[in-house]
Structure 1
Amino acid sequence: MTIILTDFIGQLLEYPVLLITTILTLSVIMVNGWTDAPNAVATCVGTRSLSPGKAIIMAAFCNFLGVLVMTLINSSVVQTIYNIADFRGDTKSSLVALCAAMVAIVLWASAAWVFGIPTSEGHALVAGISGAAIALQGGLSGINPDEWTKVVYGLFISTLMGFAFGFGATRAVETISRNFDRRKATPFFKKAQIGGAAAMAFMHGAQDGQKFMGIFMLGIFLVNGEAEASNFIIPIWLMVLCSAVMALGTSIGGYRIIKTVGMNMVKLEPHQGFSADIAAATSLLFSSIWGLPVSTTHTKTTAIMGVGVSRRVSSVNWSIAKDMALAWVLTFPGCGLVGYFMAHVFLRIF
């Protein structure tokens, strides 16, 4: 099952609650591009391979490509997000609860941006819609434990892969280039890091773009009375819409988070920044192929930590890493509770 653009526009006009849900979902996608995508190019800016302005433009373009290309190849992450929470019920209540979840995610992500903390919008998305579904269904039957298992697996696997690949990639690069002339090696790795950052931005779009398309498909099927649809085709127009909005959000800003991740947490040399980007992008690629909805923020920051530890443990600013870890731990219960209470409020008002 799928939907053509003209039919979707007609449904927006017919169902105001779907229009509100769509606006809120697009807002979440823009916030994601604004607050999450900058992590992809943080190391590239930190090593001065690119200026912040050029890095953000590159990230916006590569995010766009990532959403389009990966969804055409493998859309299993969309299916996971679509099935992770149960919004079955009457159409109005289901869409109102979905609206509440989107509001909760925007509030959570915006608060993280204010404090310059690179939290995960992907995990906030999972938590927010789960909290709203629990409120809608009146209990834990609102979530799908099988799909939640994939999220938990993805959390640990991406964190471990990011750290291990970051550590291993740095050691491998240093071993291969140990006899190189440093005056020639540094310019080479600065150029190589631009490619690594582009790959990281591409994979960010591939992962997070699919998560939000899952929410779009859920809203569309709720209106059409197909909340239990198991097989669907993602229309090209939806891929273009999500990728364009994410790219727009990325182009708006993100320097504060770039500074936290790429400059303050670990001081990196160009070859180390290249290693972190390649390690994180590789981890995200494996996760996408396996259908695991993982956090690009977690993956990138743990890769940077792995790079730092490969030099020496003290090279990592562990106080910043601790703040990040605390934000990650709080995201699931925090955003989940916000989604739960917002759903109750919205259901009573509307």
Structure 2
Amino acid sequence: MADGKDPTLVKETLDKDLAKIGRAEAAVQATARSVVAPGLAFLFLAAIVVIGGALLGGQDNGLLIIAAAAIGGYMALNIGANDVANNVGPAVGSKALTIGGALVIAAICESAGALLAGGDVVSTISKGIIDPATVPTTETFVWLMMAALISSALWVNLATVLNAPVSTTHAVVGGVMGAGIAAAGFAAVHWPTMGSIAASWVISPILGGIIAAAVLAFIKIFIIYREDKIAAARRWVPVLIALMAGAFGTYMALKGVKKLVHIDMPHALMIGAGVAVLAWLITHPLIKRQSRGMPNRNQSLRQLFVWPLIFSAALLSFAHGANDVANAIGPLAAIVHAVEAGEVASKVHIPIWVMLIGAAGISFGLVLFGPKLIRMVGQSITKLNPMRAFCVALAAAVTVIIASWLGLPVSSTHIAVGAVFGVGFFREWFTANSRTRLRYIHAYAPNAAKTQYAGVQRRRAARKLVRRAHVNTIVAAWVITVPASAILAAAIFFALEHLFGVVS
């Protein structure tokens, strides 16, 4: 070259510079992506404040209602980021749904459930956690609920950061309890109700896990480990789908139409039975047609469960929106009523704008922050396929029905995650101990493959199919949700009392 530089060295230097620039651009893009979601969430909360200011700014205590609405929106964002993952996580983990498809389905169905079938009346004291008669003034009650709302939102936010799916309803319960103790002492708490809620920490995941394991055992024994898998699937898959449809029919009869008519458990079960028969009549010929010509292997069976799993994820999201959203935004409704009416009521109607904040916040929180917990529930705890994920969805629906029948307060979060645990732990046991599986291998596996099957079984028996680290993290988060929310709420109430001079 004219300037005496070696072309090879020049090219290497240029390549290094371009690589540095590429790494810098990638870092900038990653940083930008990390602030987009919080930025959009902030804009959502800012929109609540601006619209609230335009509509309520001239009213007495309008600023207080606007502040409460913004905090309620923050709570709804956290519900979407954490709680909703349990409904669609198994479908995503089994690859029946993409993450984008799950977000769209869950956002639509959660919002529809909240707005169309959500309860229009909510207990201001979170299902009897505290006695309103013990709260000295309406002003104290307002700040008590404000502290409960702030603490529960902060706790669910922290749990999401730590990859721990927790119950937002339990967080609200803990917040109300802690702020109630700070405002009116330990006598204000209805301890028998708290005891039943504490019992649900154990009952919910165990019941969900047992039912999910039982359904998976049925599928393995009566469908998977059969000589003619496809014939077995034609017989039993429509029955399982009918059971799922019947469970959802019963649930929606109990919860989904409560705005229009009250239906007791016997009539709800009759409705569910009718839905189950109709579902069997529809799906039996469909499954027969879909399975025609399928090879006799497990991959074919998984395809038969994909669409039922997608529909179950949608129905679970709708049911969650109908049942849980009102509980989560209950403190906001209580604050609005107390400020506007100047009194503390045991039950209040939820204004439509409060439900809109809840529905919109859940959708935004799900889309912006939900993928993290969706992957956690669906992929990180144990490996799921459509059949296993179907067991989780069916267990969630059936467990809620049993709990309603027995009058037990249960958490949909604990049920769904407990069902995932149940599927994983059952697979561990079944792989290591099942005689049905061994008989199937010796009877139907080719001779050349038997040694390979035996080796796979030994390796699977030696390793764990459920990640214990995630189990420990999630269970620890469940156990400390109520006390952590309670302590945080008490501290926030005392801070508000000091700042605003609350008379308690």
Evaluate the alpha carbon distance shift between residue 62 and residue 78 of structure 1 in structure 2; reply closer, same or farther with a 3 A threshold: farther
Contact residue 162 and residue 300 of structure 1 kept, 8 A: yes
- Amino acid across the alignment from 2:104: I
Alpha-carbon distance, 1:294 to partner: 3.1
Q: Is the 8 A contact 1:199 1:281 kept in 2?
A: no
Query: Identity, % of aligned pairs?
Result: 27
Partner of 1:186: 302
Asked if 2 retains the 8 angstrom alpha-carbon contact of 1:199 and 1:277, the reply is: no
Normalising by the residue count of structure 2, what TM-score does the alignment of the two structures yield? 0.62
Say if 1:11 and 1:18, in contact at 8 Å, map to a contact too.
no
Whole-angstrom distance in 1 between the partners of 2:403 and 2:111: 19
Equivalences for 1:67-216 in 2 at 5 Å?
Answer: 67-71=114-118, 78=123, 81-86=126-131, 88-137=135-184, 139-178=185-224, 179-180=229-230, 181=296, 182-216=298-332
2:342 aligned partner, one-letter code: G
Matched, 1:52 2:202: no
Question: Offset at 1:120?
Answer: 2.3
Rounded to whole Å, the distance in 2 between the matches of 1:242 and 1:145 is: 29
Is the Cα–Cα contact under 8 Å of residues 17 and 95 in structure 1 kept in the other structure? no
CA contact 2:69–2:332 (8 Å) conserved in 1: yes
TM-score (structure 1 length as normaliser)? 0.86
Q: What is the match of residue 279 of structure 1?
A: 395
The answer for the alignment partner of 1:226 in structure 2 is 343
CA contact (8 A) 1:82 1:214 kept: no
- Report the Cα offset of residue 177 of structure 1: 2.7
Does the Cα contact within 8 Å between 2:215 and 2:391 map onto a contact in 1? yes
The answer to whether 1:305 aligns with 2:421 is yes
Tell whether 2:467 aligns with 1:317: yes
- 1:337 is matched with 487
Alpha-carbon separation, structure 1, partners of 2:208 and 2:427: 16
What do residues 189-217 of structure 1 show as CA deviations (whole Å, max 9, x unaligned)?
12222122222222322332121243233
Q: Tell which has more relative contact order, 1 or 2 (C-alpha 8 A, sep 6+).
A: 1
1:342 partner amino acid? I
Q: Which has the larger radius of gyration?
A: 2
Change (3 A) 1:183 1:82: closer
Inter-CA distance 325–288: structure 2 relative to 1 (3 Å threshold): same
State how far apart, in whole Å, the 1-side matches of 2:217 and 2:117 are: 30
Gaps of 5+ in 1: 1-5
Q: Where do 5+ consecutive residues of structure 2 fail to align? A: 1-51, 231-295, 430-463
CA distance change for structure 1 residues 61 and 330 in 2, over 3 Å: closer, same or farther?
Answer: same
1:343–1:146: structure 2 CA closer, same or farther, 3 Å change rule? same
Find the residue that maps to 1:83 and give its secondary structure. Answer: coil
RMSD after superposition? 2.7
SS in 1 for 2:59: helix
Report how many aligned residue pairs link the two structures.
339
Q: Which position in structure 2 is the counterpart of 1:65? A: 112
The farther-off stretch of 270-279 and 311-320 is 311-320
